[in-house]
């Protein structure tokens, strides 16, 4: 018997579908354990050009270039990687108004064991707020598709970067 087609029912399937719906074809990432199913799903799907970068700011540079040349992209990273980004976000992405979409798996909260990660996590939202970069924290599966779709849509419509933060409430986080 064939399995009936089923709607996306995991957070990573939902995100991958949202990328597709908005023609986001370039997926760059700095590896992260929580993001693994999303990264693997993008690698396995020929719709996407998916590859790892050595630094988050490098990935933002690549996506900026691709976006300006007509190919939309996303940068996947974890919280500590995001913390390396203020200079490139301010002086390139925001200054030039390029709609770079970021997806950050949130570490450093809700049971973090590493004090360094916990402190880094507290810098993330103030950095985004200081530059007026819209961000939404995804905590519930039933809201995930709406938040991902609308956030990505607005980023491209308004030519402004945006950030989706994946809460451990959604992903299960790092055990």
Partner 1 sequence: MTETTGNLHVMNRAALTKRLVAGLKNREAVIGGIGNSNWDLWAADRTRGENFYMLGSMGLAAPIAMGVAIAQPKRRVFALEGDGSLLMQLGCLSTIAAQGVRNLCVVVWDNGIYQITGGQGTPARASGTDIVAIARASGIASAAWAADEAEFDALVARALATDGPHLIGVKIDNEPGREQTDRDPIRFRESFMRAMALPV
Contacting range for partner 1; rule: CB under 8 A; set: 45-53, 112-120, 128-136, 145-153: 45-53
How many CB atoms are closer than 10 A to CB 141?
A: 14
| Range list of H helices, 22-140 | 36-44, 56-68, 79-82, 86-88, 95-96, 115-130
Among 61, 108, 168, 173, binds partner 1 (CB under 8 A): 61
Tell me: does residue 145 bind partner 1 (CB under 8 A). Answer: no
Helix (H, G, I), strand (E, B) or coil at 65: helix
Q: Is the dihedral of CA 126, 129, 131, 133 positive or negative?
A: positive
What's the helix, strand, coil split of the chain in %, to 5?
50, 20, 35
Smallest separation (angstroms) from partner 1 to the CB of 4: 37
State which residue, 59 or 138, has the beta carbon closest to partner 1. Answer: 59
Contact indicator for 56, 79 with CB cutoff of 8 Å? no
State which residue, 27 or 163, has the beta carbon closest to partner 1. Answer: 27
Smallest separation (angstroms) from partner 1 to the CB of 10: 28
Which residues, including other chains, have CB under 8 Å from residue 85's CB and lie 6 or more apart?
56, 57, 60, 127
Tell me: does residue 70 bind partner 1 (CB under 8 A). Answer: yes
Contacting range for partner 1; rule: CB under 8 A; set: 10-18, 50-58, 131-139, 163-171: 50-58
Tell me: does residue 47 bind partner 1 (CB under 8 A). Answer: no
Tell me: does residue 90 bind partner 1 (CB under 8 A). Answer: yes
Distance CA 96, CA 160 (A): 9
State which residue, 67 or 171, has the beta carbon closest to partner 1. Answer: 67
Binding site for partner 1 (CB under 8 A): 26, 49, 51-55, 57-71, 73, 87-88, 90-92, 95-98
């Amino acid at each position: 018997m064939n399995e009936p087609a089923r709607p996306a029912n995991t957070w990573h399937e939902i995100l991958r579908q949202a990328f597709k719906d908005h023609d986001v074809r370039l997926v760059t990432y700095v590896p992260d354990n929580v993001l693994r199913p999303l990264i693997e799903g993008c690698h396995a799907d020929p719709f996407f050009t998916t590859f790892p970068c050595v630094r988050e700011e490098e990935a933002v540079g690549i996506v900026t270039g691709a976006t300006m040349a007509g190919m939309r992209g996303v940068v996947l990273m974890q919280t500590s990687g995001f913390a390396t980004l203020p200079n490139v976000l301010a002086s390139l992405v925001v200054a030039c108004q390029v709609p770079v979409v970021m997806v950050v798996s949130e570490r450093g909260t809700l049971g973090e064991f590493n004090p360094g990660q916990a402190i880094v996590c507290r810098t993330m939202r103030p950095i985004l707020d200081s530059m007026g970069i819209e961000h939404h924290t995804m905590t519930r599966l039933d809201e995930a598709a709406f938040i991902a779709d609308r956030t990505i849509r607005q980023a491209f419509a308004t030519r402004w970067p945006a950030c989706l933060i994946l809460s451990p409430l959604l992903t299960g986080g790092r055990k």
